[in-house]
Amino acid sequence: MKKTKIKTRKSLTKRFKITKNGKIMRRATGQDHLRSKKSGKAIRNKRGWVKLSTPETKKIKKLMSV
Protein backbone atom coordinates (compact mmCIF):
# COMPACT_ATOMS: atom_id res chain seq x y z
CA MET A 1 0.00 0.00 0.00
CA LYS A 2 1.33 3.44 -0.93
CA LYS A 3 2.05 5.88 1.83
CA THR A 4 0.60 9.31 1.13
CA LYS A 5 2.87 12.32 1.08
CA ILE A 6 2.50 14.82 3.89
CA LYS A 7 1.49 18.20 2.52
CA THR A 8 3.51 21.24 3.54
CA ARG A 9 1.61 23.94 5.40
CA LYS A 10 1.95 26.84 2.98
CA SER A 11 1.38 29.43 5.70
CA LEU A 12 4.53 28.18 7.46
CA THR A 13 6.69 28.36 4.34
CA LYS A 14 5.81 32.04 4.12
CA ARG A 15 6.56 32.80 7.78
CA PHE A 16 9.76 30.81 8.34
CA LYS A 17 12.97 30.14 6.46
CA ILE A 18 15.32 27.20 6.85
CA THR A 19 19.07 27.78 6.82
CA LYS A 20 21.61 25.48 5.19
CA ASN A 21 22.37 23.84 8.54
CA GLY A 22 18.69 23.21 9.30
CA LYS A 23 18.01 26.08 11.69
CA ILE A 24 14.59 27.70 11.40
CA MET A 25 14.45 31.49 11.40
CA ARG A 26 11.45 33.77 11.95
CA ARG A 27 10.89 37.50 11.79
CA ALA A 28 11.19 39.52 15.01
CA THR A 29 7.89 40.48 16.63
CA GLY A 30 6.58 44.01 17.13
CA GLN A 31 7.15 45.47 13.65
CA ASP A 32 3.63 46.15 12.45
CA HIS A 33 2.26 49.05 14.49
CA LEU A 34 2.90 51.17 17.60
CA ARG A 35 6.47 51.75 16.41
CA SER A 36 6.53 55.51 16.86
CA LYS A 37 7.08 55.21 20.61
CA LYS A 38 10.02 52.82 20.14
CA SER A 39 13.58 54.09 19.77
CA GLY A 40 15.37 53.93 16.44
CA LYS A 41 17.79 51.39 17.86
CA ALA A 42 14.96 49.06 18.87
CA ILE A 43 13.36 49.35 15.42
CA ARG A 44 16.66 48.61 13.67
CA ASN A 45 17.34 45.58 15.87
CA LYS A 46 13.96 44.08 14.99
CA ARG A 47 14.66 44.12 11.23
CA GLY A 48 16.67 40.90 11.26
CA TRP A 49 15.70 37.26 11.52
CA VAL A 50 15.52 35.47 14.89
CA LYS A 51 16.43 31.81 15.52
CA LEU A 52 13.66 29.58 16.87
CA SER A 53 14.12 27.55 20.04
CA THR A 54 14.76 23.80 19.74
CA PRO A 55 11.26 22.59 20.79
CA GLU A 56 9.60 25.03 18.40
CA THR A 57 11.99 23.99 15.63
CA LYS A 58 10.90 20.35 15.99
CA LYS A 59 7.22 21.29 15.71
CA ILE A 60 7.72 23.53 12.67
CA LYS A 61 9.86 20.95 10.85
CA LYS A 62 7.18 18.34 11.43
CA LEU A 63 4.48 20.61 10.01
CA MET A 64 6.65 21.62 7.06
CA SER A 65 7.44 17.94 6.41
CA VAL A 66 11.20 18.62 6.36
Domain positions in the chain: 10-27+38-63
Q: What is the pLDDT along the chain (66 residues), one digit of tens a residue?
A: 788 877 888 999 999 999 999 999 999 999 999 999 999 999 999 999 999 999 999 999 988 887
The DSSP code sequence of 6-62 is PPP-HHHHHHEEE-TTS-EEEEPSS-SS--TTS-HHHHHHTTSEEEPPHHHHHHHHH
